[in-house]
Structure 1
Amino acid sequence: MAELEDPLEIAGVELPNRLYRAPLLECAGNGPDAVDALIRELTPAAESEVGLICQGATIVRGEGGCAAPGMTRVHDPAFVSKLTRLTDAIHDRGSRIFVQLEHGGLRSMETWHAGYRAENSDLRQLAVSRPPPVLRALDRVGFLSYDAHVLGTAEVYDLAEDFGRSASYAIDAGYDGIHIAGANMGIVQQFLSPFYNRRTDEFGGSLAERTRFLELVHDEIRRRVGPDVPIMTKVPAETTAPRFVRKHLSLSDGVRICDRLTAIGFDALVPVQASVFWDASIVRGAFPACAWRDERFREGYADAFGSKTRAGMVAFLNWFQSKKYDFDSAWNRPFTSRVASRVSVPVLAEGGIRNRDEIDRLLGGGDCDAVGMGRPFYAEPRLPARILGERSEESKRSAICENCNNCTVPQATGARGVCRTPSVLEKRGELRKTGAYGGEQSDG
C-alpha cells in the first residue's frame, strides 16, 4: 500500500512524493516575460514540496495548434534554452518538472476564436481526416469555422518529428521528462478516436492502427532524448460522448491502448475519461456564472466568439452542459483502477481529487501510483503544504477549490488561470494568516 509521502520512480527519475501538479494553462506565451511568468506560476508548488510539476500544454510548432490564447510554444531552441532558469528554480526547491507537448488539431483557435481567425485568415487547422459531419454542420451554421488541411502520410511523420525536436530542446533545458497531451481532444486523441480518424493509410483503421501515431511520437522522442528520459502520456476513453456519437473510444478501448503503450515503452500513463468534444466533461463542476458576468471579460468574450450575442449563446451552452457534468469526485477512478491492475508502469490519477482521505483511498487501494490536482492549484498555489505531511484536521487537508470554473472560462480571452471566487480567496487568506502554507507568503 503506497503512501502519499512515499517516493516514486518513473524510468529512473525519483519523485520525492506522489503528489503532482496536473497540467494547467499557464498562459505565459513566448514574450520577453514568459520565463519569469512561468517561474512565478510554478515555483510556489515546488516551494511547498510537490513531487512533480507537469507544465501545461506547450505547442510543438511555430504557428497554429494553440487551443487557447497565451499557450507557450517550444519549437524554437533559442527560446526553450531560456527555460533552464525555470527548471533550475524547480530543482533548487527539490521538485521535478515534466513538460507537456501538444498540438490542438481541429480544436485549435483557428477553429473557434473569431478574433484570432480574422488576424490569421490564411491559417488552416491540421486534421487527421475530414471533420466529422456534426462539426461540418456547425461550420455551415457559422458556430465554428473549418478550413481543415488533412495531413498526408508524410506530413504525419513530419508532425511526429516536431514532437521529437521539441522534446529534445526541453530535455536540454533541464526538464526531467516528457508528457504527451494524449487527451482533451488534441490531435493525439483525434488520431486515436474513431470519431475523428477515418484514414485509410497506416494511421487509420483498427485501434492498433489508430494508435500508430502516438507510438510514432514516442519512438521519435526516444530516438532524440535517449533511453533514460521518462515519457508519459494521457490516454483517453470517450465515455461521456453524447449518445448520437456512435463511434468513440470505450473504456475497454482505453485499457487496450494502455496495454499497447506499455508494451512499446511508455514509462507512465494518465488514463482520463472525457468526450469527443471540448465540453464540460473535461473540468466538471458548477456553471461559472461570475466569470460570464464579469465586465472585465465581456469584450474579450465578444472577440473570441464573434459578438456579444454569440458569447451569450456559448454561455448558455456552458450552463446546459454544467447540468449534465456536475462535479464528480475522482471521476477517472474506474479507468485508472483497471489500468493499474494490468500494466507494469506507474499509473497517475487526476480529475476531481480534492482531499487527503480520497488520496489515501486511491493510493492504498491500488487504483493508481500518484495523484494529481489541477484547478485546486489555481485556488492555492501552495496547496501541497496542507496536503502533505503529518495528519491534521480533515477540514485543513481538503482543497478549498469550489469547482466553480470561474478560473477557466476567462482563459478564452487570454486571461491568466487564477481563482476569482471571493469565498475561496477569503478562505485562502485565512489559511495564510494561520501559517498553513509555511513561511512563504507570495502566491507566485
Structure 2
Amino acid sequence: MTELTDSLEIGGCELPNRLYRAPVLECAGNGEGAVDTLVSELEPSAASGVGLVFQGASIVTPEGGCAAPNMTRVHDPDFVARLERLTDAIHTHEGKIFLQLAHGGLRSMATWHAAYRERNAEERQLAVSRPPWQLRALDRLGLLSLAPDILSTKETYELAAQFGRCAGHAVDAGYDGIHLSAANMSLIQQFLSPFYNRRDDEFADGVRFLEAIHDAVRDHAGDIPLVTKVPAETVAPSFVRRHISMAEAVETAERLTAIGYDALVPVEVSTFWDMSIVRGAYPERAWEASELRADYAAAFGGRFRARAVAFLNRLQARRFDREPGWNAEFCRRVRERVDVPVLLEGGLRTRADCDRYLGADGTTPAADAVGMARPFYAEPRLGTRLLAGEDALCESCNNCTVPQVAGEPGRCRTPSVVREKGRLERDGAYE
C-alpha cells in the first residue's frame, strides 16, 4: 500500500512525498519583478511540504507561442540564471522543482486575442500542418485570425533543439527536472494529433517530435529527469473524426517510455482549448466582474463576442462536470503498460481521493503521484493540510481562471473560500 507521504523517485530525483503542485499560469512574465512573482507564487507550496513543484508553462521561443498573457519565456540564459533564486528557495524546504517547457502553436495569442493581434500584426503562428477546416472556417467568420507558418522538417528539428537549449539553461539555474506541455492544445499536442498533423515527412508520426526533444534535452541538459503529458483526445467534439483515441494514447505512452522519458502525465483532453482543461462550474462571478468587462472585450474583439464566449463557457460547463480524478482510468491503463512513474491530476480536492488513487486502501493504484493545480491559488500553503489528512477548500468554481485571459494573476475570487482560508490562517492551520 502506498501513502501520500511515501517518497518517490523520478529519473533519479528523490521526492520526499507523492504530492505535487501541477503546472498552472503564474502570470509572472519576464519583467523586472518576474523572479519575485515566481518565488512568491511557488515557494509557499514547497514550504508547506509539497514534494514536487511544477513551474507553469514557460515559452521556449523569444517571440510568439504564448497561449495567454504574461507567460514567462525561458529562451534567454541570462534571465533563466536569475531563477536560481527560485530554485534555491524551493530547495531550502527540501522540495524539488521541474520547469514546464511549452509553445502554443495555433493556440497562441495571435490566433484568439484581438488586442494582442492589433499590437503584433506581423506575428504568425507556428503550425504543424495547414490548420484544420474547422479553424479555417472560424477564421473566415472573423472569430479567429490564422496566419500559420508551417514548420519545415529542418525547422522542426531546430525547434526541438530549442527545447533542449532551454532545458540546459534550466539545469544551470538549479532546476531538478523538465516537464513538457504536451496537452491543452499545445504545439506538442498538435504534432501528436491527427486532427492537426497532416504532414508527409518523418514528423507525420508526432512521437518523432517528442523523440527529437528528448534527444535535444539529453544533449544540452544531460540526464535531468524528463516528464511529459500524454494526451488522449477522448473529449473532442463529435464532429471531429480524426483524433487521438485512448488506445493510441496508451501506445504513445509505451513508446515514450522506450524512448527514455522518466515519468508520464496522462490527460484526457479535447482537440480545442475548451472547458475540458478546467472542468467544474460556470465562473459567473468572474464573467460578471465589472472591472474586467473592458478587458474581456479587448481580448475577444468586442463586448458582443465576449458575451458569446461566456455563453459557450456556460454550455461547456454543463458538459464537463468535475469528477475527482477524471484522468484516473487513463492513468491506470498507462500504468499497467509502462515501468516509469505515472502522475495523476484533474479535479482532486480531498485527501481520501489522493489516497484512493495511490492505492493506500490496498486496491490497484491508478498512479504513483497525485497533483493539484487551482487549489493552490486558494491556499498557497495547501500542502500542510493535505499531508495532515485534510481536504482542499477549492470548490472548482473556475472564477480564478477566466480573468487570466485579461492578464490577471491566478487567485481565488470566491468570497466563502477566501473567508475560510483567512480563518484557517488565524488558527495556524498552515503552520
TM-score surpassing 0.5?
yes
The offset of 1:160, in angstroms, is 0.5
Is 2:223 aligned against 1:224?
A: no
**In 1, Cα distance between the equivalents of 2:302 and 2:391?**
40
CA positional deviation for 1:387:
0.6
In the other structure, the counterpart of 1:308 is: 303
In the alignment, the residues of structure 1 paired with residue 345 and residue 322 of structure 2 have an alpha-carbon distance, to the nearest angstrom, of 13
1:86 and 1:2 mapped to 2: Cα distance? 30
Determine the structure 2 residue equivalent to 1:263: 258
Distance (whole Å) between structure 2 residues aligned to residue 381 and residue 359 of structure 1: 18
**Do residues 403 (structure 1) and 399 (structure 2) align?**
no
* CA drift at 1:349: 0.3
Report the CA distance between 1:226 and its aligned residue. 1.1
Mean alpha-carbon deviation: is it higher for 355-364 or for 428-437?
A: 428-437
Cα distance in 1, alignment partners of residues 344 and 318 from structure 2? 24
Write the distance in 1 (CA, Å) between the matches of 2:345 and 2:299: 29
What is the distance in 2 between the residues matched to 1:359 and 1:327?
Answer: 15
| 1:340 maps onto 2:335 in alignment | yes
1:135-284 equivalences in 2 (<5 Å): 135-204=135-204, 209-227=205-223, 229-284=224-279
C-alpha distance in structure 2 between counterparts of 1:92 and 1:398, whole Å: 26
Q: Deviations over 1:33-74 (max 9, x none)?
A: 000000000011011010000000000000000000000000
- Aligned counterpart, 1:94: 94
CA distance in 2, matches of 1:236, 1:250: 9
Q: In the alignment, which residue of structure 1 is the partner of 2:369? A: 370
Superposed CA deviations along residues 106-151 of structure 1, whole A, max 9, x for unmatched, are: 0000000001100000000000000000000000001111011111
Measure how far apart 1:291 and its partner are. Answer: 0.3
Q: How far did residue 435 of structure 1 move?
A: 1.4
Aligned residue number for residue 385 of structure 2: 386
CA offsets 1:199-233 (integer angstroms, 9 cap, x no match) = 001001xxxx2211011111110111112x10000
Partner of 2:37: 37
**Amino acid in structure 1 at the alignment position of 2:29:** G
How far apart are 1:366 and its partner, in Å? Answer: 1.6
1:155-183 Cα shifts (integer Å, max 9, x gaps): 10111011011110011000000000011
SS in 1 for 2:258: helix
Alignment match, 1:46: 46
Instruction: Provide the C-alpha distance between the structure 2 equivalents of 1:329 and 1:335, rounded to a whole number of angstroms.
Output: 13
Report Cα offsets for 1:309-363 as digits up to 9, x if no partner.
1111111111111111121111000100011111110000000111111111111
The offset of 1:281, in angstroms, is 0.7
Q: Match of 1:297, SS?
A: helix
Match of 1:317 among 305, 312, 315: 312
Q: Distance in 2 between matches of 1:240 and 1:250?
A: 10
* Alpha-carbon separation, structure 1, partners of 2:352 and 2:33: 39
Once the two structures are TM-superposed, the CA of residue 429 in structure 1 deviates from its matched residue by 1.2
Amino acid at match of 2:210: L
1:254: how far off? 0.8
Distance 1:6 1:215 in 2: 31
Task: Using the TM superposition, give the Cα deviation of residue 376 of structure 1 relative to its aligned residue in structure 2, in angstroms.
Answer: 0.6
Task: State the shift of 1:431 in Å.
Answer: 1.4
Taking the aligned partners of 2:11 and 2:311, their CA distance within structure 1 comes to 45
> In structure 2, how many angstroms separate the alpha carbons of the residues matched to 1:43 and 1:111?
33
Pair 1:437 & 2:412 matched: no
User: Which residue is 1:20 aligned to?
Assistant: 20
Q: Distance in 2 between matches of 1:223 and 1:158?
A: 13
Query: 2:241 corresponds to which letter in structure 1?
Result: R
Q: CA deviation at 1:244?
A: 0.7
Alpha-carbon shift at residue 94 of structure 1 (Å): 1.1
Q: How many residues align?
A: 427
1:30, 1:326 → 2: CA distance?
35
Q: Which amino acid aligns with 1:20?
A: Y
CA RMSD of superposed structures (Å) = 0.7
Query: Alignment partner of 2:352: what SS?
Result: helix
Report the equivalent of 1:442.
Answer: none
Q: Secondary structure at the match of 1:94?
A: coil
Q: Is 1:287 the equivalent of 2:287?
A: no
1:379 Cα deviation from its structure 2 partner = 0.9
| Unaligned runs of at least 5 residues, structure 1 | 392-396, 439-444
Distance 1:261 1:73 in 2: 26
Query: SS in structure 1 opposite 2:179?
Result: strand
Q: For 1:51 and 1:416, locate their aligned partners in 2 and report how far apart those are by CA, in whole Å.
A: 24
Task: Tell me the distance in 2 between the aligned counterparts of 1:125 and 1:153.
Answer: 16
User: C-alpha offsets along residues 385-405 of structure 1, whole Å, 9 cap, x if unaligned?
Assistant: 00103x4xxxxx111101010
